[in-house]
Amino acid sequence: MGDIYGVQPFDGVRNPGFRSSTSHTIWLTYKTAANDWQPKVAICESAAEAAVAIEVLLSPDIHDVSFQPLTVKFEIDGKSREYTHDLLMTFKSGRRSLVFVRNGESLSRPKTWREISAIREATPPTAANDLVVIDADDYSRQRRENLFRMHEMVQQTDQEADDLTLFAAENLSTLWQIKDIFPHVALPQRRVFRACLRLIARKKLTANMDNVILETSCVQVAA
């Protein structure tokens, strides 16, 4: 893919955006404070990796996220290997964490943990403060779908709808489902639903992320 007008290009050390019969490559654009909130291209090797990245991007503590940021060489079982880290999270505090995403079956194998240990050893201490291992199986298909939709909605700023929707939810004694909020906000239902997705993303409202969030989904105001 060539340059996209108004969008910063992908800058990872390795481009995983090739055709594959076994992996599900995800392309997306994202914004962070480090990019002055300008859209930038990201490429992930799986839907789970993309979901992890989006959940990180939705966190208010994040300053930047880098995709495919660093390749290291290591040796295991007498063989030389290369590994490119999935993600690098940079927090507002300055802390930097590399992210290793792998499915549960792989993480159940001792060999995988030997690889992780070797990767940690091979990664320069200046690259990050730590390496976080994430089980891709924790991201169900429904959770991934919700995160993708929330990320899309967060890109569409609508502060009026967010404020009115949260105010209605906080003052509704009979709140049970998202649709209960609709009659109490003088805005089109579509705007209110999108505001609910943004509020869940920002943890102002809570819902079961392992069920696709619909108008009939149960929702609560976060404590």
Task: Please tell me the predicted confidence (pLDDT) of residue 103.
Answer: 94
- Examine the pLDDT at 23 and tell me if it is beyond 80: no
Least confident range from 14-28, 43-57, 110-124, 170-184: namely 14-28
Spell out a b/e string for 111-148, using b for 16 or more CB atoms within 10 Å of the CB, else e: ebeebbebbeebbeeeebeebeebbbeebeeebbbbbb
- Examine the pLDDT at 20 and tell me if it is beyond 80: no
Share of the chain above pLDDT 90, in %: 86
- Examine the pLDDT at 81 and tell me if it is beyond 60: yes
